[in-house]
Amino acid sequence: MTRDPRFDVLFEPVKIGPVTAPNRFYQVPHCNGMGHQYPSSMAEMRGVKAEGGWGVVNTEECEISHTSELSGAIESRLWDDSDIPVLAKMVDKIHAYGGLAGIEPAHLGAGAANNYSREIPMGPAARPIDLYEPVQARRMDKADIKAFRKMHVDAAIRAKSAGFDIVYVYAGHDMTTLMHFLQADRNDRTDEYGGSLKNRVRLLREVIEDTKDAIGDTCAIAVRLAVDEMLGKGGISSDGEGREIIEMLAELPDLWDVNVSGWENDSATSRFSDEGYQTDYIRFVKQITTKPVVGVGRFTSPDTMVSLVNKGVLDLIGAARPSIADPFLPKKIEEGRVEDIRECIGCNICVSADFLSHPMRCTQNPTMGEEWRKGWHPERIAPKTADETVLIVGAGPAGLEAARALGQRGYDVTLAEATDTIGGRVHTESQLPGLSQWRRVADYREYQISQMANVAVYLNSPLTADQVLEFEADHIVLSTGSEWDTTGIGRSNRRAILGHDAGTVMGVDAICAGEKPTGPVVIFDDDYYYMAGLIAEKLRREGHDVTYVTPTPDVSHWTHNTMEQSRIQTRLMKLGVKITPLHTLTRISSNHVDLTCIYTDAVHQIPCATLIPVAMRNPREDLFSALQERATSLTRIGDCYAPGTIAAAVYGGHRYARELGEPAVTGVPFRRELPLLADD
């Protein structure tokens, strides 16, 4: 197939200073939890993006000095020459597919605690650092500023010798020293680097000029600038200082990479933002500069991309998450296979890896982070090893992905689903407030399967054990999912809560099915991810009196890792949900519940006609129990094996498909990256 001519514009080369991007698909810098600790994994992952057609592929933020290091988080490093080979490996992988390699040198100043190097952080002013740590940054003096400029030059020279084509100067995300100097509320200096905007921009200008002087003959110099902090007039804004900074420096860099700040605004989830949510903040930039402009906005639609270019908003279509969910997005457009794009759902499971310091995972792309250590390719998979049949029971994310990947391998697959709808929990949860894009997990797989003659799907087919066996499939896969528990057992209550059977309890599944609670509703969140917050939002919007009780200090506590917590709490508070943190729920009566303080054990009662415990899910095990002794090849995947994230269910389905018929691996089932042991 060939591409639709209306997408031709996306495949035009774009000159960026001394280099030329082969097309307009631009993977902006993004963290990945691999960085310096899992360098081969990181390099392979970037190479796969280039193979998939991204014309420019960047690193994550790259620490330029031991005086600014984020130990704990796993970023890339360019502290000295010994870091060059890691990054050169990444560059080679990208160049092998004709892409340009970019690097984002970063000095985080008051954004890093330096717990490993034990250097005192430094910034424009003497202030506490941004992290919740007992550390203050010192004010940079003139010698520090000189040394800081040299650090950038040294890093740029190393980047050039590693082979990079594009080298950033990074003043974004409320996170780097260069941005901190720009911000009037962080920079209280009275010298030539503080006060007026011209003075606050001085260091950024100097570093751009230094970098150009050092490597600008062969490398393009990109500036990443947060043009709006989304603080209104209180901060940098696109109709205020953000615009003025671009005006001051308009023609200085070779490329403008512009976005909103902080990271939680830049990488907003689909629950709180639509595709293109940054466009109104960044569209002014191209009116000021003749240099190419790249921006992001969770773009997955080629029509949107074309319109951004044609309307003169962007020259390059920036993407982090869309390139994670589908490293082959550009190739699919180029090959006229737009419907094969695996669209990002905007859930930020990928982001959580950075906070939790492990290799990145993606809900939509189960191969993410596995490219090197397991040799998994997002588009290719080994053919089947035998002419065998597989029966998969349950068409949630686990069953769907197993069916899709087994179908791709050539197996003869039957997928039986009890209900009249594909998708399982994804279908259910995508109907909760703000989650409609999550449906893409099912949509992508449903379409792929519909194109495979060797995969048959049967809806309205609740299978019993006998029916499963009558099928005589060579392999039986159970992906029957889970149900929310209603007893209150969970992290806080190891036994069922007293009174759970008194008739006032409703389960999450009943609420999702549309059943209506009565009277004052209490939601007990002992799960800490998104579900309790969503149920609270849904019921409050429907007009119920809702109290949210949780042992954690805030609502949906784990969503700090997806950068949504603050927005969720704000939304619930504005909706009028009453929030009682730091309490467990210990007894249920007919018209009230007992709450116990997690510190003092003090008990108080609040009115409750309906209690909704959100604490744990029970795997659906009936079918497994009935088949365990009777079936030869029987495997559970996804939530019926152990309830977890949708990402874990998709991974479970994919893993089963990859491993079927392959020799069993003993020991660690992936390649490891170990540090070198010193000689002495």
Find all residues with CB under 8 Å of 38, minimum gap 6, and list them: 74, 359, 373, 673
| Closer residue to ligand ADP (CB): 187 or 635 | 635
| Closer residue to ligand ADP (CB): 339 or 466 | 466
For 357-378, b/e burial (b = at least 16 CB within 10 A) is: eebbbbbbbbbbbbbbbbebbb
Concerning whether 173 is annotated as a catalytic residue, the answer is yes
User: Which of ligand ADP, ligand SF4, none interacts with 201 (beta carbon under 5 to 8 A by kind)?
Assistant: none
Concerning whether 266 is annotated as a catalytic residue, the answer is yes
* Structure tokens, 208: 């751009």
- The residues with which 58 forms a beta bridge, in sequence order, are 102
Residues 277-336 that bind ligand SF4 (CB under 6 A): 321, 324-325
| Cα 568 to Cα 525: distance, rounded to the nearest angstrom | 14
Catalytic residue among 254, 266, 412, 443: 266
| Closer residue to ligand SF4 (CB): 410 or 433 | 433
Q: Smallest gap, in angstroms, from Cβ of residue 403 to ligand ADP?
A: 11
* Strands 583-588 and 592-597, bridge-based pairing: antiparallel
Q: Smallest gap, in angstroms, from Cβ of residue 637 to ligand SF4?
A: 19
User: Which of ligand SF4, ligand ADP, none interacts with 463 (beta carbon under 5 to 8 A by kind)?
Assistant: ligand ADP
Q: Alpha carbon of 187 to those of 27, 113, 114, 130, 470: distances in Å? A: 32, 19, 21, 14, 73
Q: Smallest gap, in angstroms, from Cβ of residue 649 to ligand ADP?
A: 4
| Closer residue to ligand ADP (CB): 306 or 441 | 441
Name the nearest CA neighbour of 133 among 143, 118, 154, 147.
118
Is 556:565 a contact under the CB 8 Å cutoff?
A: yes
| Cα 65 to Cα 79: distance, rounded to the nearest angstrom | 4
| Closer residue to ligand ADP (CB): 238 or 482 | 482
User: Which of ligand SF4, ligand ADP, none interacts with 394 (beta carbon under 5 to 8 A by kind)?
Assistant: ligand ADP
| Closer residue to ligand SF4 (CB): 57 or 455 | 57
If DSSP codes are grouped into helix, strand and coil, which group holds residue 491?
coil
Residues that bind ligand ADP (CB under 6 A): 393-399, 416-419, 424-425, 461-463, 479-482, 620, 623, 638-640, 649
344 binds ligand SF4 (CB under 6 A): yes
Catalytic residue among 26, 168, 170, 528: 170
User: Which of ligand ADP, ligand SF4, none interacts with 620 (beta carbon under 5 to 8 A by kind)?
Assistant: ligand ADP
Is 554:523 a contact under the CB 8 Å cutoff?
A: no
Q: Which of 41, 183, 289, 348 binds ligand SF4 (CB under 6 A)?
A: 348
583 binds ligand SF4 (CB under 6 A): no
Beta strand extents in 142-269 (DSSP E only): 166-171, 220-228, 255-260
Sign of CA dihedral 318, 320, 322, 327: positive
Q: DSSP string spanning 603-671? A: EEEEE-SEEEEES-EEE--HHHHHHTTT-SSEEE-GGGTS---HHHHHHHHHHHHHHTTSPPPPS-SS-
Concerning whether 544 is annotated as a catalytic residue, the answer is no
User: Which of ligand ADP, ligand SF4, none interacts with 623 (beta carbon under 5 to 8 A by kind)?
Assistant: ligand ADP
Phi, psi of 118 (to 5 degrees): 65, 20
Q: Which of 55, 109, 111, 346 binds ligand SF4 (CB under 6 A)?
A: 346
| Closer residue to ligand ADP (CB): 266 or 401 | 401
User: Which of ligand SF4, ligand ADP, none interacts with 395 (beta carbon under 5 to 8 A by kind)?
Assistant: ligand ADP
| Closer residue to ligand ADP (CB): 505 or 649 | 649
| Closer residue to ligand SF4 (CB): 27 or 492 | 27
Is 143:4 a contact under the CB 8 Å cutoff?
A: no
Q: Which of 317, 347, 403, 539 binds ligand SF4 (CB under 6 A)?
A: 347
| Cα 384 to Cα 382: distance, rounded to the nearest angstrom | 7
Counting every residue written for the chain, the total comes to 680
User: Helices 397-409 and 440-450 meet at what angle, rounded to 10?
Assistant: 30
Q: Smallest gap, in angstroms, from Cβ of residue 461 to ligand ADP?
A: 6
437 binds ligand SF4 (CB under 6 A): no
User: Which of ligand SF4, ligand ADP, none interacts with 325 (beta carbon under 5 to 8 A by kind)?
Assistant: ligand SF4
Q: Which of 57, 129, 345, 534 binds ligand SF4 (CB under 6 A)?
A: 345
- The owner of tokens 């006998």 is 466
Name the nearest CA neighbour of 180 among 125, 141, 237.
125
Q: Smallest gap, in angstroms, from Cβ of residue 296 to ligand SF4?
A: 12
User: Which of ligand SF4, ligand ADP, none interacts with 462 (beta carbon under 5 to 8 A by kind)?
Assistant: ligand ADP
Q: Which of 350, 539, 611, 650 binds ligand SF4 (CB under 6 A)?
A: 350
User: Which of ligand SF4, ligand ADP, none interacts with 56 (beta carbon under 5 to 8 A by kind)?
Assistant: none
Q: Which of 222, 319, 329, 349 binds ligand SF4 (CB under 6 A)?
A: 349
- Give the largest Cα separation in the chain, rounded: 83
Q: Which of 68, 278, 363, 480 binds ligand SF4 (CB under 6 A)?
A: 363
Concerning whether 170 is annotated as a catalytic residue, the answer is yes
Using a 10 angstrom Cβ sphere, with 0-12 exposed, 13-18 middle and 19 or more buried, the burial of residue 224 is buried
Q: Residue numbers of the site for ligand SF4 (CB under 6 A)? A: 321, 324-325, 344-350, 362-364
Q: What residues act catalytically? A: 31, 170, 173, 266
